Amino acid sequence: MPRSHRPAKSIRVLLAEDQGMMRGALALLLGMEEDIEVVAQVAAGDTIVDTALTHRPDVALLDIELPGRSGLDAAAELRDQVPDCRVLILTTFGQPGYLRRAMEAGAAGFLVKDGPVEELAEAVRRVLTGETVIDPALAAAALSAGPNPLTTRECDVLKASADGATVADIAAKLHLSESTVRNYLSSAIGKTGTRNRMEAMREARQQGWL
């Protein structure tokens, strides 16, 4: 809707989505709501906080998997840097582990992308009033799945294992000894019930723990 026809106080939304077609479609559909205005769009996670500081949105609508930085990491910093901005996670990845991490990062809502736009617009309105909005099926799955069994350091070494990094590479990157890295990897492999660190990393990602 043209700005001249909007209510005096529209809900200002920042949209973070790396797929251009999806981002454009969401912006167009949300912009058709009389009380919602998309004031900024970004394609990378490492630009979210600076853009929010510039545009001061009421709600940040964030994907999880973004270039540069995940939406979950950005959500945690938004909580500190732009506390008046409510965060709503909108993602294809409906794993229970992602939901738990989103709530820990201070997100006010978590929805999957296959829902109708009317539900998304209503979720934007509801989180702004202080409500927490979570996809019901995902909430039930998260309760039954239990907490992330991996420690922060175990998650760190699994993340650092990507792209064929050696134990020495991981140790140097995380400023740990090689024996400590091996211990963390062994523990993570055991907790995920896998055979090696690459399988452990894949399993942890599928569960939304990384």
CATH of the domain at 187: 1.10.10.10
Which residue is associated with the tokens 């690459």?
A: 198
* Structure confidence by residue, pLDDT tens digits, 53-85: 999 999 999 999 899 999 999 999 999 999 999
Number of domains in the chain: 2
Q: How far is CA 187 from CA 64, 120, 173, 182, 192, in A?
A: 26, 40, 19, 9, 9
- Answer yes or no: do 100 and 173 share one domain: no
- Answer yes or no: do 49 and 121 share one domain: yes
- Answer yes or no: do 171 and 135 share one domain: no
Residue bearing the bigger pLDDT, 148 or 81 = 81
Lowest mean pLDDT among 129-138, 151-160, 167-176: 129-138
pLDDT value of residue 145: 57
- Answer yes or no: do 65 and 167 share one domain: no
Q: Is the pLDDT of residue 168 over 80?
A: yes
Q: Is 164 exposed, middle or buried (0-12, 13-18, 19+ CB in 10 A)?
A: exposed
- Answer yes or no: do 28 and 100 share one domain: yes
Q: Average of pLDDT values for 143-152? A: 72
Average pLDDT, the chain: 86
- Answer yes or no: do 178 and 202 share one domain: yes
pLDDT value of residue 142: 60
Domain residues for the domain of 173 are 152-207
- Answer yes or no: do 83 and 27 share one domain: yes
